[in-house]
Chain A
């Protein structure tokens, strides 16, 4: 895993290749063109905010990265090597984890069970699904992961139904971390949260990056974006409409790029 690195708000000009780079990604659904050749790159330890109006192509773009949708055209590079992201499994095995808005948690299971769902630690002489759950080890790992995330989860043995929105988000992100992902894509993680929980989730995102994870963060809330992102990528009508270092831009400039009152700055 990449060690934490100093967070420079540059537009990705570094010696190491970006963890993930997209070039000229196109996608159309019948007559509707969703992506018209989008470029994007994200480094380890960097938080990219993906913003844009409804229909700008944000969701389509992350689905092509997650392997849920297959791009019609375009190249994907991981660590500088060209890769295919044809299936969710391919994306996961390259270290790309996606946390969708619905979080995909089992409300009736406890925190430990949710963190390890689908990848339980087992032991014992019986084969496959009949292996005994190694609950103590999983609990220890779960605690370590949540501590790394700085997540404040009251009990690991309570059903997640009883957790707050921010805590649930932490569990979903914890899954990504536990499974050794290097890029975490968060789809509107703060959309349904109150002020305090939003702050918790933003803190979580920051910590992910501090641990050397690359993060792509989709949001409609510009204050959230400015609070946590290193770089802001604006999409408009399926094309790049600007790429801004947070320290060198303003909300007005971002809104202008989103609505198209700025000339598209395809600076990658």
Chain B
């Protein structure tokens, strides 16, 4: 996983002028807490459920948790992209549903080959997103309204695709693998080692780049500690999950999405423009940022990711049904993004923090189900946690404003 930019790296000066301890402390106290609040919240939730039911923190339940969080995580990542640009996509759930329905119809009724059916499914998601983006930009209707219309229209299309029966079995081996397969232990080890090596190489390359440009770079010790932390996390997870069925394949899918989208947001010019447009669209326009391209782009990415969520849902159920993408899925995704610190007003949001937010939402759901609580309790608890998270963020921001940060 990419690192969260640590204060040490955000150095002010040449390599000699690293920020002092005091400066770092000031940054933390001034409210730039990064993923700390969501991590603290997550720890609290896990400890609570573990004390209530000793089965919560077992390999088996963690495995379940990963399977359960996949769809919400993918949609939360989509929400971060869109909301950071100052837009919103209310059609995420419906697009998940309609893409799932298309996949089911193509595979089960029309007997398409898997690759073609998947391509068509992703194309539908991407197309819907791009269409909604184009209407937002060229007609000038706010994305809230365009995607609210989409929310209704695409779920209507979903129902008509599935037909009167209301569901459609999908007995395709390949599709079923996505959300139900586990990695063989040796594959998991190899992948974990590959991830750690990749992380180390990327970190070293970035350090060399910064040194080459004579701007502040991280200390070698910090770099080594970071690589060790990533290694400990990756190998620890593999060891733990291998005591049960192994590492779920779907973990690779959504981690890969997080990695790619995180890279896009933080390391590319397009990503920089997403933050710029969300921060000050008028200033961006005057600076020559292609605001229209950014807006259409984020909604198209959102549609594409909803298509992926549709595929995962279908795999999970071995079927598609009228219920896919419905209920409070959209709101859970937005909640996950916001719990992860995404601003509702644009300009602020981190993909990895949203993944943690999704883990919070999924943990509450999973934990309450484990305690035998009904869905009504889950909804209430998720609601309370969402408001709590945003309240903490609002208080934090007010303090930041007060200290002039």
> Which A residues have a C-beta under 8 Å from some C-beta of B?
88, 102, 104-109, 113, 117-120, 122, 126, 128-133, 135-137, 139-140, 143, 154-158, 161-162, 175
Evaluate contact between B210 and A118: CB separation under 8 angstroms.
no
Residues of chain A contacted by B293 (CB below 8 angstroms): 129
Interface residues of B in 373-405 (CB under 8 A from A): 404-405
Evaluate contact between A108 and B275: CB separation under 8 angstroms.
yes
A137 CA / B290 CA spacing, docked (Å): 23
Evaluate contact between A108 and B213: CB separation under 8 angstroms.
no
Evaluate contact between B269 and A122: CB separation under 8 angstroms.
yes
A130 CA / B293 CA spacing, docked (Å): 12
Residues of chain A contacted by B212 (CB below 8 angstroms): 136
B28 CB to closest chain A CB, in angstroms? 13
**In this complex, what residue of B is CB-closest to A104?**
B283
Evaluate contact between B282 and A130: CB separation under 8 angstroms.
no
Evaluate contact between A137 and B213: CB separation under 8 angstroms.
yes
Evaluate contact between B289 and A157: CB separation under 8 angstroms.
no
Evaluate contact between A105 and B269: CB separation under 8 angstroms.
no
B263 CB to closest chain A CB, in angstroms? 9
Residues of chain A contacted by B12 (CB below 8 angstroms): 154-157
Evaluate contact between B287 and A133: CB separation under 8 angstroms.
no
Q: A105-B283, A106-B347 are in contact. Are A136 and B268 (CB under 8 A)?
A: no
A109 CA / B30 CA spacing, docked (Å): 17
A230 CB to closest chain B CB, in angstroms? 29
The reply on B348 being an interface residue by CB < 8 A is yes
Residues of chain B contacted by A139 (CB below 8 angstroms): 213, 215
A118 CA / B272 CA spacing, docked (Å): 10
A98 CA / B268 CA spacing, docked (Å): 28
The reply on B270 being an interface residue by CB < 8 A is yes
Q: How many A-B residue pairs have CB under 8 A?
A: 98
Evaluate contact between B209 and A136: CB separation under 8 angstroms.
yes
Residues of chain A contacted by B272 (CB below 8 angstroms): 109, 113, 117, 120, 133
Evaluate contact between A136 and B283: CB separation under 8 angstroms.
no
A154 CA / B20 CA spacing, docked (Å): 13
Residue from the list B215, B267, B278, B405 in contact with A108, Cβ < 8 A: B278
Q: A106-B276, A129-B268, A129-B273 are in contact. Are A155 and B284 (CB under 8 A)?
A: no
A134 CA / B272 CA spacing, docked (Å): 12
Evaluate contact between A117 and B10: CB separation under 8 angstroms.
no
Evaluate contact between A120 and B405: CB separation under 8 angstroms.
no
A156 CA / B216 CA spacing, docked (Å): 11
The reply on B64 being an interface residue by CB < 8 A is no
Evaluate contact between B210 and A106: CB separation under 8 angstroms.
no
Q: 8 A-B pairs, CB-CB below 8 angstroms? A: A88-B286, A106-B276, A109-B276, A113-B272, A117-B276, A130-B269, A135-B210, A157-B12
B216 CB to closest chain A CB, in angstroms? 8
Residues of chain B contacted by A106 (CB below 8 angstroms): 275-276, 279-280, 283-284, 347
Residues of chain A contacted by B10 (CB below 8 angstroms): 155, 157-158
A158 CA / B404 CA spacing, docked (Å): 12
Evaluate contact between B280 and A107: CB separation under 8 angstroms.
yes
A70 CA / B276 CA spacing, docked (Å): 29
The reply on B255 being an interface residue by CB < 8 A is no
**In this complex, what residue of B is CB-closest to A103?**
B283
A63 CB to closest chain B CB, in angstroms? 13
The reply on B180 being an interface residue by CB < 8 A is no
Residues of chain B contacted by A113 (CB below 8 angstroms): 272, 275-276
A245 CB to closest chain B CB, in angstroms? 34
The reply on B214 being an interface residue by CB < 8 A is yes
Residues of chain B contacted by A108 (CB below 8 angstroms): 275, 278-280, 347-348
**In this complex, what residue of B is CB-closest to A140?**
B213
Q: Which of A88, A126, A129, A132 has the most CB of B within 10 A?
A: A129
A96 CA / B378 CA spacing, docked (Å): 60
Q: Mark B39-62, 1 if CB is under 8 A from A, else 0.
A: 000000000000000000000000
Beyond the given A106-B275, A133-B271, please list 13 additional residue pairs across the A-B interface where CB-CB is below 8 A. A88-B286, A104-B280, A106-B280, A106-B284, A107-B280, A108-B348, A113-B276, A118-B289, A129-B297, A132-B268, A133-B268, A133-B269, A155-B12
Residue from the list B264, B273, B287 in contact with A104, Cβ < 8 A: B287
The reply on B11 being an interface residue by CB < 8 A is yes
Residues of chain A contacted by B278 (CB below 8 angstroms): 108
Evaluate contact between A136 and B275: CB separation under 8 angstroms.
no
Evaluate contact between B269 and A104: CB separation under 8 angstroms.
no
Residues of chain A contacted by B372 (CB below 8 angstroms): none
A154 CA / B288 CA spacing, docked (Å): 27
